[in-house]
């Protein structure tokens, strides 16, 4: 998995907006007050675009549930995998050892054979891809504003989130903190800010700030 920030987000715009709302002398203090008071629309003025590579289509299905984000995804209709496709191997399968990893690889090879069989029968990539797995790797560009990102981190940096999207969300949060710390100082799963919001579904292992910090 590779996560790359494509733009230079400017958190100053959020501070300027918050300062303007309250005619404040110190726009950064106004921003902190706005965030603490739930006046979160000021966070929508700062956007982040990420290139995400080497993640599975299983992750893609989860990521695209976040409706406030904008997406551009590599096409499986127009990009042919006739020479093979990259895929993601779950750590749980890798942990079973070399034999399991080989078996998994052979299963991917088998699906690639099925895919090529359809291409050879003049079926287009958009239809041949129906035999491809969720493991198939994809790449995409996603843009989210800081408000949506904070919401995304609450859900996807949580231990209840699936491992692959959690790994990606953790890396995105690390990058966001590096580039706009003031907007993300307390971002992450709910347990970073206080009690776990998951109730009886809580993992019971709160992730502390260090686990999700720069």
Ligand X SMILES: Cc1cc2nc3c(=O)[nH]c(=O)nc-3n(C[C@H](O)[C@H](O)[C@H](O)COP(=O)(O)OP(=O)(O)OC[C@H]3O[C@@H](n4cnc5c(N)ncnc54)[C@H](O)[C@@H]3O)c2cc1C
List residues with catalytic annotation: 156
Using alpha carbons only, what angle is made at residue 170 by residues 141 and 64, rounded to the nearest 5 degrees? 40
Burial 167-194 (b: 16+ CB within 10 A, else e): bbbbbbbebbbebbebbbeebbbbbbee
Binder to ligand X among 140, 151, 171, 174 (CB under 6 A)?
Answer: 151
CA separation for the pair 151, 70 (Å, rounded):
15
Judged by beta carbon, residue 25 or residue 67, the one nearer ligand X is 67
Q: Is 40 in the site for ligand X (CB under 6 A)?
A: no
Which of the stretches 10-18, 23-31, 65-73, 202-210 binds ligand X when contact is defined by CB under 6 A?
A: 65-73
Judged by beta carbon, residue 138 or residue 145, the one nearer ligand X is 145
The interface with ligand X within residues 121-150 (CB under 6 A) comprises: 148
Binder to ligand X among 58, 157, 161, 172 (CB under 6 A)?
Answer: 161
Q: Is 67 in the site for ligand X (CB under 6 A)?
A: yes
CA separation for the pair 152, 157 (Å, rounded):
8
147: its two tokens: 């408000």
Q: Is 65 in the site for ligand X (CB under 6 A)?
A: yes
> Whats the size of the chain, residue-wise?
214
CA separation for the pair 170, 126 (Å, rounded):
33
Q: Is 73 in the site for ligand X (CB under 6 A)?
A: no
Binder to ligand X among 6, 20, 61, 68 (CB under 6 A)?
Answer: 68
């Amino acid at each position: 998995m590779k996560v790359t920030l494509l733009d230079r987000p400017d958190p100053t715009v959020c501070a300027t907006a918050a300062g303007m709302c309250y005619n404040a002398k110190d726009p950064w203090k106004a921003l902190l007050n706005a965030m603490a008071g739930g006046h979160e629309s000021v966070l929508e003025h700062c956007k982040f675009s990420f290139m995400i590579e080497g993640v599975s289509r299983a992750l893609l299905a989860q990521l695209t549930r976040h409706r406030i984000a904008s997406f551009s995804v590599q096409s499986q209709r127009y990009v042919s995998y006739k020479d093979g496709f990259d895929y993601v191997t779950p750590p749980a399968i890798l942990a079973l050892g070399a034999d399991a990893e080989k078996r998994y690889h052979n299963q991917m090879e088998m699906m690639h054979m099925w895919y090529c069989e359809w291409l050879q029968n003049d079926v287009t990539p958009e239809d041949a891809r129906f035999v491809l797995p969720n493991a198939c790797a994809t790449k995409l560009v996603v843009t989210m504003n800081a408000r949506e990102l904070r919401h995304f981190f609450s859900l996807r940096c949580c231990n209840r989130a699936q491992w692959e999207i959690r790994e990606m969300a953790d890396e995105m949060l690390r990058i966001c903190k590096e580039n706009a710390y003031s907007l993300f100082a307390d971002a992450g799963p709910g347990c970073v800010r206080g009690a776990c919001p998951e109730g009886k579904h809580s993992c019971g292992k709160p992730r502390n700030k260090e686990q999700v910090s720069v």
